[in-house]
Chains A and B, each alone.
Chain A
Amino acid sequence: MITEKRIRELQEKFHDLIAEIRSVIIGHEEVIKQVLIGLLCGQHLLLEGVPGLGKTLLVRTLGRALGLKFSRIQFTPDLMPADIIGTRILVEDESGRRHFEFARGPVFAHLVLADEINRATPKTQSALLEAMQERSITVSGETYKLEEPFMVLATQNPIEMEGTYPLPEAQIDRFFFKILLRPPSLGELEEIVRRHGGGQESQSVRQVLTRDELVEVQQLVAQWPTASPLRRYAARLVYATQPSSPDAPELVKKYVEYGASPRAALALIWGAKAHAFLSGELNTRIADIQAVFYPSLIHRIIRNFRGEAEGIPVEQILQQVYEQIQPT
């Protein structure tokens, strides 16, 4: 039976973890929190931002701080599925006998950074997405279980869309959050220059949490107390993104082709639980749901032709949903 003391200890460790990451990553407080929420929920994240914003550094730092195995895959158009999941290779044993042996790909890690995932072909993308969903790899009829915790952080570059293969909506829906990385502010930029201006590698990161503790927290967060009115609120928020919903705001009815899927409601509740944990609370709050509202839904809203033609941002549509749907 979990005790308050233990809960407080784990919460404290995560505070330390955040502090450790922030010692390396300048700014991006919300991004760090959202990444940790994804981690606590054991879900995969899609990071979107221009190159050079510290995406790889963030994931690597997180891996080090957690003592987890980290791998990075740079997606390119010629990247093959086998390059991700691994392939069978012919090896010769000590007796001289040759046999095929499965050489594990970079996906066999705790934290996988799929850099510029939209540059790979759909075939390659689906190989990764299948691994993300199934948390196992099947090669030549043999299934290989991915080790927990398993988390993929895919990145997308919003510019240079030429020659890319945008992820299909169904694939994007598999990502728990879509985290938007904003360019640093002037102050943050100065700090980045100050810290890393010497061309040195990032400073060493202290491990503050073990893998077992992470799994323990993941299990704890999964059962975090959440009252039914909050679940109803999350469901109403998601339902309001459907153009056919009576609660749908004007922008949704006008510019949305497909609203958020049930995965969005799950992401809201699950993310809210993790957010409550990180906030030091003992129960989920309305504020926690609201905190994860944008990253949970922003990649799950599919605008119609008119919305895209008029350039209506999804954030604007979600803003209207957020304001219109009040907890009752």
Chain B
Amino acid sequence: MSTFKTIRASLERRQRVMQGSALASWALLGSLGVTALMLLGSAFGLWGTVPLFAWAIGNLVIGALAFVAGWLRPINTIELLFRADRHLRSNERFVTLYELSLGYGPQEFLPLLERQINPLSVKAAQALPLPSRDKWRWAAVTILALVCVSMTGFVQLGSFFVRTETDRSETASQASLESQRASQLLEWLQTPPAELAQKLIAVRERLEQARAALALNPNDPRARAALQQLRAELAQEQQRLTPPRPPAEEEQPTRSRSESSLVEGSPGEPRPPHQGSSEALELNQLLQSLRRVSEQAHSLSPEELQKLLEQLRETNPDAAALAEQVLQMTQTPEEFRERLEEILRELEARQALREQFENLQRELESTLAQAGPQVAHEESSAGFPSALSSDEGGSPQAQQQGSASEAHGIQSQERHEEGQTSAGAGRGTAPLDPEAAQDLPDLSQLRERSRALSVPGTQNEDLEILFEIVTMELPQDPKGSSSAVPVQIDYGKVEALLDMLEIPEELRDAVRQYFLSLSRHR
């Protein structure tokens, strides 16, 4: 191969590389621009995430194809050699030689000119340097590629355009709360149900004993006290069978929590008969939600499972937190489902126990209700209405209860004389000194108000039941002395009862005020 041909081949190769490079840079500029727009759309949530691998490979393929297309484009050799001549300042020898080699012009000059060329002095890169516009284009391509890479990172981290710093911190705190809640629930589930079952058996035995005692003597104070004690214990045990309140909601009133729990329930689902309280409903919902997750877990991909948990977070945060915690603790879907089944078994055991406790409580309430008239009589004789009678001409309770109270007045008087502690004394009315009793709200007025209100769907007996239940919870004065006894009122129970008995809103404040005024006289 002659010297000139070697140089020419080298220059043509260089030209093809440059053509390929120029076309590739244009193609990449366009494709990376489109990629950037797609990533931007992805960041704004217009469509799904564009993975780095996909767009990088896509752009590389486009660039490679464009390079090949540029390489294969025809070359104007005369223009190419003339350009090389200009850059190398070779006095237009290359282009003249080329034309001579094609047969144009005096052929005798061909060898003469060829001898003047030194192949070593010809550098293709120097003869055909990359144009500055191509350099700028490649710089733009590089910048665009870096932008795309960084955007991909941001998008995959989670829609940085949408989420602000505050959002992120809120998400983090929410995640922390969820984690705490899940830990709390798991801790609660660690209490062995067997222990609770034993407790149930023990309570039932004590209830039977008290029943037997009452059967022999309906006024047996010990039996009644035992029943009161059992009731308190039952309530306590039932609390243990209820999912604990989340830390953030502990300060919130019971009412709002109960409302939120009710809202969480599926509107189409019938309310099971055993769920008499919001806690029972909550436990049932937790159970159902987790069961749904457990049933679907095996057929869902990790992404779909995450989506399901997201949906669950909206309807039942406790179930979502628990499932999320279990998901983090387990490695495989099978392990996840197995662990979830364990939790479900624990929850079902608690639900069964709770039902039994509720049945027991009903029995206890029934037993107490059967002994109620005597108790009411005792209360009327020893309670605070007696204290108020000096001013108002009689106890309001006694007035409401009518002749039934009067019939039992002798028995109450006897008990008072015997110095025995009565339930009525425990209401905090009888032991109050006369001055304090004068400041107490008029309970008779409250009762009258409740009757006169006649709220549709409201039973006036409810208020009576409320007073009965709450006052029965008050500690008894063991000595039955007339000195002031500290009144202890469980306000949480008052609120629960207000909810449970469906006391109308208009009366609730009055009832609360009543019990608050009791506490002020302690």
B116: chain A residues within 8 A (beta carbon):
282
Q: Which residues A186-235 have CB closer than 8 A to chain B?
A: 223-230
Q: Mark B247-266, 1 if CB is under 8 A from A, else 0.
A: 00000000000000000000
CB pair A282–B109 under 8 Å, yes or no, is yes
Q: Which residues A280-307 have CB closer than 8 A to chain B?
A: 281-287
Given contacts A225-B100, A225-B113, A229-B79, contact A286 B92 (CB under 8 A): yes
A7 within 8 A of B: yes
**Most chain B beta-carbon contacts within 10 A, residue among A4, A223, A230, A328:** A4
Q: Which residues B90-148 have CB closer than 8 A to chain A?
A: 91-93, 95-96, 98-100, 104-106, 108-109, 112-113, 115-116
Task: Name the one of A229, A281, A287, A328 contacting B95, with C-beta atoms under 8 angstroms.
Answer: A229
A163 within 8 A of B: no
B416 within 8 A of A: no
Given contacts A2-B108, A282-B109, contact A226 B91 (CB under 8 A): no
**Most chain B beta-carbon contacts within 10 A, residue among A226, A282, A287, A327:** A282
A99 to B289 alpha-carbon distance, docked (Å): 141
B105: chain A residues within 8 A (beta carbon):
223, 225-226
A226: chain B residues within 8 A (beta carbon):
96, 105
A170 within 8 A of B: no
Task: Name the one of B82, B108, B109 contacting A283, with C-beta atoms under 8 angstroms.
Answer: B109
A287: chain B residues within 8 A (beta carbon):
91
A224: chain B residues within 8 A (beta carbon):
106
Q: Name the CB-closest residue of B to A327.
A: B86
Chain A at the B interface: mostly helix, strand, loop or mixed?
loop
A1 within 8 A of B: yes
Q: Which residues B225-261 have CB closer than 8 A to chain A?
A: none
A63 to B358 alpha-carbon distance, docked (Å): 141
**Most chain B beta-carbon contacts within 10 A, residue among A3, A227, A286, A287:** A227
B87 to nearest A CB, angstroms?
12
CB pair B92–A283 under 8 Å, yes or no, is yes
CB pair A282–B113 under 8 Å, yes or no, is yes
Chain B interface size range = 20 to 34
Q: Which residues B60-99 have CB closer than 8 A to chain A?
A: 78-79, 82, 86, 91-93, 95-96, 98-99
B93 to nearest A CB, angstroms?
6
Given contacts A227-B82, A227-B99, A228-B99, contact A285 B92 (CB under 8 A): yes
Q: Name the CB-closest residue of A to B106.
A: A223
CB pair B113–A229 under 8 Å, yes or no, is no
CB pair B93–A283 under 8 Å, yes or no, is yes
Task: Name the one of A282, A284, A286, A327 contacting B112, with C-beta atoms under 8 angstroms.
Answer: A282
A67 to B109 alpha-carbon distance, docked (Å): 29
CB pair B92–A229 under 8 Å, yes or no, is yes
A3 to B108 alpha-carbon distance, docked (Å): 7
CB pair B92–A4 under 8 Å, yes or no, is no
Q: Name the CB-closest residue of A to B91.
A: A285
CB pair B86–A283 under 8 Å, yes or no, is no
B89 to nearest A CB, angstroms?
10
Q: Name the CB-closest residue of A to B86.
A: A327
Q: Mark A261-291, 1 if CB is under 8 A from B, else 0.
A: 0000000000000000000011111110000
CB pair B112–A4 under 8 Å, yes or no, is yes
B112: chain A residues within 8 A (beta carbon):
4, 7, 282
B91: chain A residues within 8 A (beta carbon):
281, 283, 285, 287
A49 to nearest B CB, angstroms?
32
Given contacts A282-B112, A285-B91, contact A227 B106 (CB under 8 A): no
Q: Name the CB-closest residue of A to B92.
A: A285
A181 to B91 alpha-carbon distance, docked (Å): 29
CB pair A225–B86 under 8 Å, yes or no, is no
A105 to nearest B CB, angstroms?
38
A285 to B105 alpha-carbon distance, docked (Å): 15
Q: Mark A151-190, 1 if CB is under 8 A from B, else 0.
A: 0000000000000000000000000000000000000000
B110 to nearest A CB, angstroms?
9
A134 to B93 alpha-carbon distance, docked (Å): 36
A230: chain B residues within 8 A (beta carbon):
92
A98 to B207 alpha-carbon distance, docked (Å): 180
A225 to B79 alpha-carbon distance, docked (Å): 17
Q: Name the CB-closest residue of B to A6.
A: B108
CB pair B108–A284 under 8 Å, yes or no, is no
CB pair B106–A283 under 8 Å, yes or no, is no
A199 to B106 alpha-carbon distance, docked (Å): 50
A281 to B105 alpha-carbon distance, docked (Å): 16
Q: Name the CB-closest residue of B to A287.
A: B91
Q: Which residues B306-353 have CB closer than 8 A to chain A?
A: none
Given contacts A281-B91, A282-B116, contact A229 B106 (CB under 8 A): no
CB pair A283–B113 under 8 Å, yes or no, is yes
A280 to B91 alpha-carbon distance, docked (Å): 12
B98: chain A residues within 8 A (beta carbon):
227
B100: chain A residues within 8 A (beta carbon):
225
A227 to B91 alpha-carbon distance, docked (Å): 11
A7 to B111 alpha-carbon distance, docked (Å): 13
CB pair A227–B95 under 8 Å, yes or no, is yes
Q: Which residues B351-386 have CB closer than 8 A to chain A?
A: none
A227: chain B residues within 8 A (beta carbon):
78, 82, 92, 95-96, 98-99
Q: Name the CB-closest residue of A to B93.
A: A283
Task: Name the one of B82, B92, B106, B115 contacting A284, with C-beta atoms under 8 angstroms.
Answer: B92
B111 to nearest A CB, angstroms?
8
A207 to B115 alpha-carbon distance, docked (Å): 33
A150 to B92 alpha-carbon distance, docked (Å): 32
CB pair B96–A284 under 8 Å, yes or no, is yes
Task: Name the one of A223, A225, A328 contacting B96, with C-beta atoms under 8 angstroms.
Answer: A225
Q: Name the CB-closest residue of B to A7.
A: B112
A281 to B92 alpha-carbon distance, docked (Å): 11
A168 to B79 alpha-carbon distance, docked (Å): 41
A26 to nearest B CB, angstroms?
31
Q: Which residues A237-266 have CB closer than 8 A to chain B?
A: none
B106 to nearest A CB, angstroms?
5
Q: Name the CB-closest residue of A to B115.
A: A4
A293 to nearest B CB, angstroms?
16
CB pair A225–B78 under 8 Å, yes or no, is no
A327 to B78 alpha-carbon distance, docked (Å): 13
Given contacts A4-B112, A282-B109, contact A228 B92 (CB under 8 A): no
A328: chain B residues within 8 A (beta carbon):
79, 82
Q: Name the CB-closest residue of B to A223.
A: B106
B118 to nearest A CB, angstroms?
15
A281 to B91 alpha-carbon distance, docked (Å): 9
A158 to B79 alpha-carbon distance, docked (Å): 44
A232 to nearest B CB, angstroms?
9
Question: Hey, which bits of chain B sit against chain A, CB under 8 A?
Answer: 78-79, 82, 86, 91-93, 95-96, 98-100, 104-106, 108-109, 112-113, 115-116
A-B contact pairs, 9 of them (CB 8 A): A2-B106, A4-B115, A227-B78, A227-B96, A228-B78, A228-B95, A229-B82, A283-B91, A283-B109
Going nearest first, the 7 A-B pairs with the smallest beta carbon separation are A283-B96, A227-B95, A229-B82, A227-B96, A285-B91, A225-B105, A4-B112
Since A227-B92, A227-B96 are in contact, a sample of 7 more A-B pairs with Cβ atoms closer than 8 Å, ordered by chain A residue number, is A223-B105, A223-B106, A225-B105, A226-B96, A228-B104, A282-B113, A283-B96
